[in-house]
Amino acid sequence: MSYSTFIKSKTCTAYKLEKYYENRKNNIYITTNNYYRQLARKKADKTLEQYLSKAQTKINKKLKLEEAQYKLAMKTLKDWVVRKFEKPITLSELKKEAFRLVQLYARLIRCDKDGMLRLVDTGKLVHYKKAQWWHYFSKFNHPNLAFEVSNIRPITQRSNAMQWDQPWLYRKDNLIWIIWQEQFDHLEAMSKEPKGELKTKEYYQQQIDHYTPLVEEQLKRIGEK
C-alpha cells in the first residue's frame, strides 16, 4: 500500500503512519538482505561479506527514499486532517460574535476604572458583568442601528426579558437624560433611515475586526487584561 493510499484511510493517524513507516523500514532490511544472501549462495566466486556490503549500500539508498516519502506523507496527513475536519464559520456564528463584541464594548466604555456602570432602567450602579445589553431601537427592526453604540445601553436582566417592540417611555426619558436631547434626536432620525442591504459574512467580519481591538483596549483600561 502506498503512503498516499494509507493516509486517506478513515482511521489513519500520525501514530499509525509512524508505525507504518517503521514496518516498511524493517521490511527493507529483511527483503534486501535476503535477496543478497540468495545471490551469495549462487555465486561461489564472491564472498558473503561482499554481497552483504552491497546489500547495506542498497538498504541505505532505499531507506533514504523511504524517509523522504514518510516525511512527505506526514506533512500531507496534517494538511489532510485540517481540510477534513476544519469547519467553516457560518454567517450565524459571525453575527453572534460581532454582536457579543459590540455589546461588550458598549458596556465597557461606560465603566469607571473599577468596571462599574449605571443601568438605564433603574439607575443602579453595578459591575458591567452583571448588566445586560439592550438596543433602544431593536436590531431586528433597525439593523442599520445594530452596531450604533449610542443605541446600546446597559439594563437589568428583568427589564431585558420584559421588553417588546415599542420601548418603554420611562426608559426613553432615562436615555435622553444620559445622552441629551440632541444625540437622541440624531439616533431617532437614524432609526427612520432605510434598513439597507442584507448583511453578509464580510459585513459581520468587519465589525469583529473593528471592535476586537477596542474591547481589548477597554479591558486593559479597567485592569482586566
pLDDT at 166 (0 to 100): 45
Res 20 pLDDT > 90? no
45 pLDDT higher than 60: no
Calculate ∠ Cα 197-202-207, nearest 5°: 90
**Higher per-residue confidence, 49 vs 5:** 5
Candidate from 17-21, 56-60, 176-180, 185-189 with smallest mean pLDDT:
176-180
Confidence of residue 23 (pLDDT cuts 50, 70, 90): confident
Listed in order, strand segments (DSSP E) in 102-182 are 116-118, 125-127, 132-135, 152-155
Q: The pTM is what?
A: 0.50
At 154 the pLDDT is 84
Model pLDDT for residues 70-105, shown as the tens digit of each residue? 888 777 766 655 454 445 678 888 888 999 999 999
In whole angstroms, give the CA distance from residue 45 to residue 56: 20
pLDDT at 64 over 70: yes
User: What is the pLDDT at residue 85?
Assistant: 46
pLDDT of residue 170: 47
Q: Is 132 in a helix, a strand, or coil? A: strand
Tell the residue number behind the cell numbers 524493517, with chain if given.
26
Range picked from 101-110, 114-123, 181-190 for highest mean pLDDT: 101-110
Helix (H) or strand (E) holding 108: helix 91-108
Q: Pick the closest to residue 99 from 130, 160, 140, 127 (CA basis).
A: 140
What are the pLDDT digits (tens) for 146-198? 888 888 888 877 766 665 444 444 455 666 566 655 666 666 776 666 665 66
Mean pLDDT of the chain: 77
Higher pLDDT, 120 or 176: 120
